[in-house]
Homo-oligomer: A and B are copies of this chain.
């Protein structure tokens, strides 16, 4: 898991789409104007988001992009994964060298943490962010069920 400015742009743009996209598509020019992200850069991002099946496009006048599914079914982790191809963290990729070394241990611990962050962001949908009724409430997936946990 990586969390860069590009990922932030992507989430921001998708949020804009979720907010401003009703029945009709939203053009990149509109998003560019509202979010102050260069149009060409948005084009690059949306190419990846489209490949990631998160948005669908419509060309021609009145065209643009719309979410590929409902706000509740698009999660932050998916957006970031789509635009930020993940890096390999280990330097002994299953090669089995550095066996029992501290190297493997810390790398494993990091991967574990990274996985937890990913899991965390997999629980937050665009709909959750928009709803935001009570920011101190968050839903946590546990054993397949959704369990509401109030934090802070």
Contacts and interface: CB of A to CB of B under 8 A. Distances in A.
18 contacts: A1-B3, A2-B5, A3-B4, A8-B114, A11-B110, A12-B106, A12-B110, A15-B110, A16-B106, A34-B101, A34-B106, A76-B113, A113-B124, A117-B120, A120-B120, A140-B151, A142-B150, A149-B149
A135 B113 contact: no
Q: How many copies does the complex hold?
A: 2
A141 B152 CA distance: 7
Contacts of A35: 102-103, 106
A100 B89 CA distance: 42
Contact of A16 (B102, B140, B150): B102
Given A15-B110, A142-B150, 7 more contacts: A3-B3, A8-B89, A12-B110, A16-B106, A20-B102, A34-B103, A142-B151
B36 A103 contact: yes
A152 B146 CA distance: 11
Contacts of A3: 1-4, 117
